[in-house]
Structure 1
């Protein structure tokens, strides 16, 4: 299977993941998402398919998603061994995650990095989600808040703008989030079991 062109591998993986051709519509938590082929990566002898899904309800609070399927070669195609259709959430208006990538800097296995935000009543907040694609299943850490902008005219944090950047990555151990803007401070996240967790309570406000 791995000798085939990547485009053909992805097409066969997508067909196995969604049981057919075209752009399938799947119901996830009472919402309908239409998925399309995204990216296929290999972790050892296991294939991982990442498929963006657009929420057919395009309301402000309706999020799309990035589906994760684990597959293994079977005959001239693939067999699904695990499915997480909405583990990685997108933003509002039905959109799937748009700003995502894979990195080998954080952990032993590839980490899916997704960054997104949300604006409501003049206040914007958001952050980064890390999902490690471990051989047996994807493992997601808590949201790392990296975006805050309050121009709403309300509250003690009115006019505050803070941005966070992940720095000082020690693979499999820890990383820092350096904040700048209206306030400057640094917070440390450490590896605890299968996930990264903040050391103490975050000082980053949210909407």
Structure 2
């Protein structure tokens, strides 16, 4: 589950850090609605808006099934049934849609991002990135929230994981919603570990939280629990890469 400290910042274009609308400190579980970014002042977000945005993004009302054109026979088919609008400034929006995969333990879910422009006549799609992030088990999509304190543009921060033979682990990805396109800045950041399901004695756990450093240049992941440490991620080209490597607990 996305950690409380990680969930402190949701998108508000007129505020540096604001809690997602309709939530307490802890964001929704993966089976519930994702953290919804509040609209900036003067923009009324309604379910009708999100329905119209989904129609414009996918060309159809939900549910929509999607499979990559070059998919292999054993690749997952995703079913997208809902989307959440994220304001990007002015009349520009991102629609983040959650995709449900298969029912098996090894089946992953996915997130899709569409860029939209709102006009007097409705929404117009300007870009589409289906299955930009995948992860999870039993077909569940990654949990996600929007943060404005890590990167110059709003960042889609995801978390996915699972439990294997009593070992539970989770990882985060960071996707920056730049004006032109979403860019995956880093993947597979360890943010959770718990082996209590596998050990009767000597169990250990660890939790990582993303913390801002210099926006657009670096951020850190601070670990607490039975293993502590700080991993600093610095921008190298298009990606943030770890510059420190403490000994962490991971599956």
Q: Is the TM-score greater than 0.5?
A: yes
Give the superposition deviation at 1:184.
2.0
Distance of aligned partners of 1:203 and 1:139 in 2 relative to their CA distance in 1, 3 Å threshold: farther
Instruction: Structure 2 unaligned segments of length 5 or more: list them.
Output: 1-41
Partner residue of 1:135? Answer: 179
What CA RMSD, in Å, does the superposition of the two structures yield over aligned residues? 2.4
1:51 aligns with 2:97: yes
Give the superposition deviation at 1:60.
0.2
Give the superposition deviation at 1:108.
1.2
Does the 8 Å contact 1:147/1:163 carry over to 2? yes
Spell out, residue by residue over 1:100-138, the C-alpha distance to the aligned partner (whole angstroms, 9 max, x if none): 111111111111111222211121221221111011111
Query: CA separation in 2, counterparts of 1:71 and 1:5?
Result: 14
Partner residue of 1:102? Answer: 146
Does the 8 Å contact 2:206/2:226 carry over to 1? yes
Give the superposition deviation at 1:182.
2.4
Which of 59, 77, 80 aligns to 2:122? It is: 77
Query: CA separation in 1, counterparts of 2:162 and 2:246?
Result: 19
Does the 8 Å contact 2:54/2:62 carry over to 1? no
Per the normalisation by structure 2, the TM-score is 0.70
Query: CA separation in 2, counterparts of 1:202 and 1:84?
Result: 34
Which of 45, 60, 67 aligns to 1:27? It is: 67
Spell out, residue by residue over 1:73-119, the C-alpha distance to the aligned partner (whole angstroms, 9 max, x if none): 4672333222222112241101112x311111111111111122221
SS at 1:70 equivalent: strand
Higher strand share: 1
SS at 1:38 equivalent: strand
1:38 aligns with 2:78: no
Query: CA separation in 2, counterparts of 1:199 and 1:143?
Result: 15
Give the superposition deviation at 1:206.
2.6
Structure with more relative contact order (C-alpha pairs < 8 Å, separation 6 or more): 2
Query: CA separation in 2, counterparts of 1:21 and 1:187?
Result: 43
Give the superposition deviation at 1:202.
5.4
Give the superposition deviation at 1:197.
1.5
Per the normalisation by structure 1, the TM-score is 0.84
Does the 8 Å contact 1:178/1:187 carry over to 2? yes
Instruction: Structure 1 unaligned segments of length 5 or more: list them.
Output: none
Does the 8 Å contact 2:193/2:249 carry over to 1? yes
Give the superposition deviation at 1:161.
2.3
Does the 8 Å contact 1:149/1:162 carry over to 2? yes
Question: Structure 1 residues 71-80 or 18-27, which shifts more?
Answer: 71-80
